[in-house]
Amino acid sequence: MQSTTLAGAFDDLADSYDHRHHEEIARALIAWVAPGPADAVADVACGAGAVARQLAQSRPDTARPVLAVDLSPGMIAVGRARAADVERATAIDWRVADAVPLPVADRSLDVVLCASSLHFLGRRAPADWRRALRPGGRVGFTLPLATHFRPSERFSGHLARDVPLPHTAQEASVWAAECGFAEAASRVLVLGTRRVVVTSAREPGGR
Ligand SMILES: C[S@@+](CC[C@H](N)C(=O)[O-])C[C@H]1O[C@@H](n2cnc3c(N)ncnc32)[C@H](O)[C@@H]1O
């Protein structure tokens, strides 16, 4: 029987997840935001942890663990198995939990990254990222381009109504600014027949 919860739907998907597609998105997101090697980073709604694992692979042994949070135990289990190649067992701090709010203190993160998940989380997520980021900290997220998004019936019912999918890179930057971020910059990533908007921005401080 198929689960009707969002976590259950992703648990069911975990073993057949399109890792190649999400690895490419993770690579583009990390390149667009370019976190520093010692930055405190969260991978929000990490799924199988494409972002967390790629980051962890390139960080020094002394770096603090990348926080990787997801609702789906099945996706986290796949992520843990796939991250076995990361040398330090503590390089990723995996958590099965709602990613909103993030389990961190106010102003404690340097970078928040969120790949292919914001449209499930809703606008409460960027509000929480502003709480969690230090002033000047950076955020990066990806969203599917509205014109190319074809969610299955199973997932369409779980989409947040308060996150508008962008039709252009510019729309994504405008929305990031509406959420309170500064210096938003976006680009469209072409992946076969799919299109994804990648956005980076900065927490301006002064809240
Ligand atoms: C399309 S997947 C993307 C996963 C991953 N970021 C990637 O790039 O492969 C969406 C993920 O969002 C997670 N998710 C949705 N809502 C969530 C929430 N409120 N808290 C934590 N995870 C959530 C799902 O469990 C799923 O793993």
With respect to residue 118, please indicate whether it lies within any of the assigned structural domains: yes
With respect to residue 35, please indicate whether it lies within any of the assigned structural domains: yes
The residue with tokens 């701090």 is 93
Model-level pTM? 0.96
Range of the domain at 22: 6-202
The mean pLDDT values, 10 residues at a time, for the chain of 207 residues are: 75 88 96 96 97 93 93 96 82 96 98 97 97 97 93 84 96 98 97 95 84
Q: Tokens representing 141?
A: 């997220």
The β-bridge relationship of strands 66-70 and 92-96 is parallel
With respect to residue 207, please indicate whether it lies within any of the assigned structural domains: no
With respect to residue 149, please indicate whether it lies within any of the assigned structural domains: yes
Partner residues linked to 112 by β-bridges: 42, 139
Which atom of ligand 1 is nearest to 43's Cα? Answer: 6
Q: Tokens representing 155?
A: 């997932």
Domain count, the chain: 1
CA 14 to ligand 1 center in whole angstroms: 11
Measuring from atom 1 of ligand 1, which residue has the nearest CA? Answer: 116
With respect to residue 143, please indicate whether it lies within any of the assigned structural domains: yes
Task: Return the CATH number at 41.
Answer: 3.40.50.150
CB atoms within 10 A of CB 36: 12
Which atom of ligand 1 is nearest to 26's Cα? Answer: 8
